[in-house]
Amino acid sequence: MQFDADLNACAALVEKGDPDRFAATMASPVTARRILFPLYAFNVEVSRAPWLTQEPMIAEMRLQWWRDALEEIAEGIPVRRHEVVTPLAACLDATGARLLHDLVAARRWDIGTDAFEDEAALWQYLDATTGNLLWTAARALDAAAEDEADFRQVARAIALANWMQALPELEARGKKPMHDGRPETLSQLANAALSDLKRQTRLSAPSRLVLLSGWRARGILRRVQKTPQLVARGQLAEPAILRSAALILARLKRRI
């Protein structure tokens, strides 16, 4: 099955901007890649939009452009021509477009330097970003509707692992990404997230395929649980050979 120019462009964006999801998508069936690459390329574009400028108004305009594009998809009107928007429109229904619209709205937090009010606010952000992205992908691959509650808990665990990895850079950029960054708090959060990963065994095959994108989450969370000081040091990454082995094992077991 051949990719057209737009899908190839989406794949290139993901390969450069989100290598973990690129690797997971390449380990997925080709039919799934036609859906996953546009979604993940969209996420790359939206997630980097607030960081491309120091002018809040320009960042707001960049995010609004994506919200407008998603409204076109949700309303079923002619969609603007764009290498990501065009293939994205082919794999989204109105519900999926609105979920991604909420994702873009949540990304407004990235523009400023305000801290999350509390732990609940952090979870709301992670659910709206990673949670909505992955559940939209699962829906597009015909995941069972009854998967959603358990799926979102697993997606939350993946989001937390990714967030822990990003903390040093976020803080270096002047962000306040944790309401409570004490090592004992980080360890407790990681422990709870590891329990949530167990829920994936209850999910349908399409849901588990999408969750493959979080193939590094378990290892990261285990390291945070055991040695939370690694977060501040930016030392959560595993050796490359172990990283590759983790993806192969996750694909064979069909769970992360």
pLDDT in tens, 27-82: 999 999 999 999 999 999 999 999 988 899 999 999 999 999 999 999 999 999 99
pLDDT at 1: 52
Instruction: Please check whether residues 133 and 223 belong to one and the same domain.
Output: yes
Q: Which amino acid is at 155?
A: A
Separation CA 155–CA 248 (nearest Å): 20
Instruction: Give the closest residue to 20 by CA, choosing from 169, 134, 105, 125.
Output: 134
| 71 and 163 fall within a common domain | no
Mean per-residue pLDDT, 164-169: 95
Same domain, 124 and 44: no
Q: Which of 112, 139, 171 is the last residue of a domain?
A: 112
State what percent of residues in the chain have pLDDT above 70: 99
Instruction: Kindly state whether residues 90 and 117 are assigned to the same domain.
Output: no
d(CA 135, CA 128): 10
Asked if residue 132 and residue 221 are part of one domain, the reply reads: yes
Same domain for 174 and 103: no
Range of the domain at 202: 113-256
What is the predicted pLDDT for the residue at 114?
87
Mean pLDDT on 208-225: 97
**Domain count of the fold of the chain:** 2
Q: In the listed set 112, 129, 153, which residue is the last one of a domain according to the structure?
A: 112
Same domain, 91 and 10: yes
Listed residues 112, 137, 159: the one ending a domain: 112
119 and 243 share one domain: yes
Same domain for 87 and 202:
no
Residue 197 has pLDDT above 80, yes or no: yes
125 and 85 share one domain: no
Residues 205 and 128 in one domain: yes
Q: Using a pLDDT cut of 90, give the percent of the chain over it.
A: 88
| 3-state secondary structure labels for all residues of 173-193 | CCCCCCCCCCHHHHHHHHHHH
